[in-house]
Amino acid sequence: MRTLRQIAVVSGVAFALAAASAAAHAEKLTIMVGGATKIIYLPAKLTEQLGYFKEEGLDVEILSQPAGVDAENELLAGAVQGVVGFYDHTIDLQSKGKEVQALVIFGQVPGEVEMVSTKAADSFKSMADAKGKTLGVTGLGSSTSFLTQYLAQRAGVPSTQYTLLPVGADNSFIAAIKQSRIDAGMTTEPTVSQLLKTGDAKVLVDMRTLEGTRAALGGTYPASSFYVQRAWAESHKSDAAKLSHAFAKTLNFIATHSAEEIAAKMPKDYYGNNKDLYVGALKASLPMFTKDGKMPADGPETVLKVLSAFNPSVKGKHIDLAKTYTNDFVATPVKTAAK
C-alpha cells in the first residue's frame, strides 16, 4: 500500500507533467514590436529571455516592425494578438472608431531624443529653428511623428513649415543623419549613444527622464506599452492576465538589477561587438521604466493634450481615456526571483 509521501510524490510528478503538456499545447500568441532592438521596448525580448512567458504557460512569438504604426496595422488586421508600442496609438485609434487598450505600461516617459546633425547644429539650436528643415521620424503616423509635430508646434513652428521624412530606426536612422538627408530626427537608445560616440549628432531635446519629459511636454508621458484590441482582452482574459503578469515580472527585474546584469540576459545581436556602449545606453534609459506596469495617474491627460494639439483625428473629439488602458491585469504586485 502506498504511503502518503509516495502518493504526494506521484501526484506532484503528474501535476508537473500536466502543466508541461498544457504549455506545450498552448495556443501560440504573436506580439509585434515596433522595433525590437530599441531599449524603450526592452521588456518584450527580456521577458522571453528570462523565461517568464513559459513560466506563465504561454507560447509567445516576438516579431519586429521598424515603426509602431506598422505594428498597429498588424494588430487591427488580426495578424497578431498584441503590440509593444506607444500608448498614444490607443487614443489615436479610438478617435477613428477602433477600440484598443494598453494592459501594461513599460515607459513612464517616451525615451525619445531629438538629435540634431552636427553639420546642422550651428543653425538648429532648439525646435524653434525647425522652420525649413527636414526632420526624421520612424514612420508617418508613428509616435515619433506625433511627438515631433508637438515639439515644433510648442516652439511656434507649424507643420507646414518643415518636412517630415520617414527614415526608420537604428542603422537606417544613422545613415540618414550621416548622409544629410535629415537635419534632425527623433530616435531612441542605443542609437542615441552610437551617434554621440561617433560625433555625428548632438542632443536637442531629451525625453529619457521625467525631468526632461516634463520640460518638453508639460507632464508625464506614458509611452512604450503592451496593448491589444479591447475585444480580444475581454474574450481572452486568461491569456491577457498571463501576458501582463509576465511583463510585470520583467519590469520588477529591471527595477532590481543593474544595467550590466540586464545586458547579460540579452541576445548578443542586440549589442554586437560593443557591449559597453549598450550598457551605457541602458544606464541612461533605466529611469524611464515603470516598476509595476501601471499607468501614471497624470499620463493619459498629457498624451491627449499632445495629440489634440495637432492630430486632426483627435482634435475636438471626445476621447474616453478610461477605455484606452487598464491597470486590472497588473493590480497584483509581483516579485521576481534572482536570476
Q: What is the pLDDT of residues 174-215, one digit of tens each?
A: 999 999 999 999 999 999 999 999 999 999 999 999 999 999
Residue-level pLDDT at 17: 45
How much is the average pLDDT of 222-227? 96
How much is the average pLDDT of 290-294? 96
Residue-level pLDDT at 130: 97
Residue-level pLDDT at 272: 80
Residue 248's nearest CA partner among 332, 322, 339, 323 is 332
- For the chain, the C-alpha Rg in angstroms (whole number) is 21
Tell me if the bond preceding 110 is cis, omega within 30° of 0.
no
Q: Which residue has the cell 497624470?
A: 298
Task: Answer left, alpha or beta for residue 127, where phi above 0 means left and psi between -120 and 50 means alpha.
Answer: alpha
> What beta strand segments (E) does the chain contain?
28-33, 59-64, 82-86, 100-105, 112-117, 134-137, 163-166, 184-187, 201-207, 224-229
Which is more confident, 312 or 137? Answer: 137
pLDDT at 240 over 70: yes
How much is the average pLDDT of 78-82? 93
Residue-level pLDDT at 338: 57
Residue-level pLDDT at 10: 46
Residue-level pLDDT at 15: 46
How much is the average pLDDT of 237-241? 96
- On average, the pLDDT of the chain sits at 89
Q: What CATH architecture is 25-109+222-330?
A: 3-Layer(aba) Sandwich (3.40)
How much is the average pLDDT of 219-239? 96
pLDDT at 94 over 50: yes
Lowest mean pLDDT among 150-159, 183-192, 269-278: 269-278
Task: Give burial (CB, 10 Å; 0-12/13-18/19+) of 257.
Answer: middle
Label residue 23 by pLDDT band (50, 70, 90). very low
Q: Are strands 163-166 and 134-137 parallel, antiparallel or unpaired?
A: parallel
CB 107 within 8 A of CB 295: no
95-148 pLDDT, tens digit each: 999 999 999 999 999 999 999 999 999 999 999 999 999 999 998 888 899 899
pLDDT at 290 over 90: yes
Residue-level pLDDT at 13: 46
pLDDT at 21 over 60: no
pLDDT at 2 over 60: no
* Sequence ranges of the chain with CATH classification 3.40.190.10: 25-109+222-330, 112-207
CB 131 within 8 A of CB 158: no
Residue-level pLDDT at 73: 85
Q: Above pLDDT 70, what percent of the chain?
A: 89
- Chain center to CA of 318: 25
Residue-level pLDDT at 14: 46
Residue 223's nearest CA partner among 127, 84, 46, 48 is 84
* Integer CA distances (angstroms), 35 to 48, 61, 67, 205, 264, in order: 16, 14, 6, 21, 20
Residue-level pLDDT at 8: 45
Residue 126's nearest CA partner among 165, 154, 160, 161 is 154
How much is the average pLDDT of 317-322? 95
Name 137's Cβ contacts closer than 8 Å, sequence gap at least 6: 144, 145, 148, 164, 165, 166, 167, 185, 186
CB 46 within 8 A of CB 266: yes
Residue-level pLDDT at 285: 92
Q: Helix (H, G, I), strand (E, B), or coil: what is residue 120?
A: coil
Residue-level pLDDT at 4: 45
Class of domain 112-207: alpha beta
Residue-level pLDDT at 71: 82
Which is more confident, 334 or 271? Answer: 271
Residue-level pLDDT at 179: 97
